Structure 1
């Protein structure tokens, strides 16, 4: 990709993760990247930090780029796409990381068929993310390889043939860090409630989670088998797990993921308003 120019439309957190990953992994040089957004002060941050170029004009950034990465908020996408319509080079690759935005909608609004749709997650900021992605039939083999390099700079990447997996990935891995952080927060607060200083509770929880994930990765056994290893009959783990099951822990997780999946589909249909706070996600049938 030594001769490929990249434009990022929407210079937010995930856009910065992409910039950082591309430069850190030496996929492209800083002078091959231009970011576009409405805030000049954000542009100054990125140019000083990474040596890239910046503009407040989306069209200026996209017009000459070989790869245009869409990283705006879902609620802003329609206006951005209309502004970029017929402004992208015919042979350029458009890579979208916008949650819930289907390829067909992007292609139709841009009047441009060469689209890759991807769903990364926030650990991409440290090169430990995982991205699920797919492509329209118009994407060439060379462009598929470029997309793979870009997304690989963020961590692991998984290509899927069917686009509906993207909404599922949004709910599971894209939103997944939020579930993990909430679980961490609850465990830390529980430790403080027991009487630990918060710094010690944080250390215990973080290392327990890190060690558990590494242990699973090493063993590759079913999580239920690993859970049984630490659950002695009549012991402390058995008591705790009984209470979690009684409280509907599994059901709450499943329903949360399903609610995120439904929200992703709503965003794809252009429904930007949030569902009622007391609304329940519909069950899968």
Structure 2
């Protein structure tokens, strides 16, 4: 399988790095990137071919569109004349399969993907949706690529991509935000910055690992830590009074709504 990435940013690098770790022959990977420094970096790090010439994608089996959403329309219009039977994978947030197909002159072998930043360490999760023109073999190709960066979740409804964006796409920022707060609390309680960082990160790592390996829901695991009349109960009561859980839920809904808005704005032409 020959793969071309158009755009050589962090997410493209994450997927390529994962493929290399899984033993994929990176000589079969081509990256189209205008920035010469990025091209050199990708070639040195992964052994891929890197070029600034878009027509180089013509002989690929899979073309991954890894550019900013604002750049996708012009790219797709130019790319349309080079397409034969390639699978198009788009990781551009907000752009629907219908809009992308329209810009590609009706081409429909499109898989839309929402990955997240832990893909950079092959610990991501990606939501995928396949348009009607995607064959079973092409679904398997898409799954191979994205599973190199972490786990995959196939969706039967494209609108759920906006929800994936709100939960796992934006989700790492919510976690980092909470870590920031916990570190700040540790500093205020007398720890130095290194200690505050270590305590906060290891708590998140350990709790996440426990949750991932347990059959119990998160609410049960939380209750097991929360002894009646104890310190954790006092902390949880404070969070409940501040309505933190509902604020997080509302934040996720706000992110999903913004994803829908961006899709409508960027895909209307």
Query: Normalising TM by the smaller chain, what interval?
Result: over 0.9
User: What is aligned with 2:59?
Assistant: 64
Alignment: residue pair count: 266
Residue 86 of structure 1 aligns to a residue whose secondary structure is: helix
SS in structure 1 opposite 2:99?
Answer: helix
Distance (Å, rounded) in 2 between the aligned partners of 1:205 and 1:244: 17
- From 4, 8, 29, the counterpart of 2:5: 8
Match of 2:63, SS state, is strand
Give secondary structure in 1 for the equivalent of 2:205: helix
Question: Which residue is equivalent to 2:101?
Answer: 107
CA deviation profile, 1:112-143 (whole Å, cap 9, x unmatched): 21001111111111111111101111111111
**1:18 and 2:15 are equivalent in the alignment:** yes
Q: CA deviation at 1:271?
A: 4.9
Q: Is the 8 A contact 2:94 2:266 kept in 1?
A: no
Q: Which runs of 5+ in 2 are unaligned?
A: none
3-state SS of the aligned residue for 1:117? strand
Query: Is the CA contact (8 Å cut-off) linking 1:74 and 1:267 kept in structure 2?
Result: no
Provide the residue aligned with 2:89 in structure 1.
95
Runs (4+) off by over 3 Å? none
Q: Which residue is equivalent to 2:260? A: 265
Question: Counterpart of 1:54 in 2: which secondary structure?
Answer: strand
TM-score normalized by the length of structure 2: 0.95
Q: CA deviation at 1:260?
A: 1.1
**Is the 8 Å Cα contact of residues 5 and 63 (structure 2) preserved in structure 1?**
yes
Q: What is the aligned partner in structure 2 of residue 34 from structure 1?
A: 30
Select which of 43, 47, 51 maps to 2:43: 47
Asked if the contact 1:117/1:134 (under 8 Å) is kept, the reply is yes
Alignment of 1:198-213 (within 5 A): 198-213=193-208
* Comparing 182-191 and 217-226, the one that deviates more: 217-226
Helix, strand or coil: the match of 1:196? coil
- Alignment partner of 1:94: what SS? strand
| C-alpha distance after superposition, 1:139-160 (max 9, x if no partner) | 1111111111111111111112
Q: CA RMSD in A?
A: 1.4
C-alpha displacement at 1:234, in angstroms? 2.2
Cα distance in 2 for residues equivalent to 1:24 and 1:225: 36
CA-to-partner distance for each residue in 1:33-81, whole Å, 9 max, x for gaps? Answer: 1111221111111111111111122x22322221100111112222221
| 1:243-282 matched pairs, under 5 angstroms | 243-271=238-266
Q: Which has the higher helix share?
A: 2
Superposed CA deviations along residues 75-127 of structure 1, whole A, max 9, x for unmatched, are 22222212212222x21000111111111111110122100111111111111
Change (3 A) 1:11 1:252: same
Conservation of the 8 A alpha-carbon contact between 2:5 and 2:31: yes
1:180 pairs with 2:175: yes
Query: Is 2:149 the counterpart of 1:154?
Result: yes
Counterpart selection for 2:134 from 126, 136, 139: 139
Give me the whole-angstrom Cα distance separating, in 1, the residues matched to 2:98 and 2:48: 31
8 Å contact 2:95–2:266 — kept in the other structure?
no
Normalized against structure 1, the TM-score is what? Answer: 0.89
> For the Cα contact (< 8 Å) 1:128–1:156, is it kept in 2?
yes
Tell me the equivalent position of 1:282: none
SS in 2 for 1:220: coil
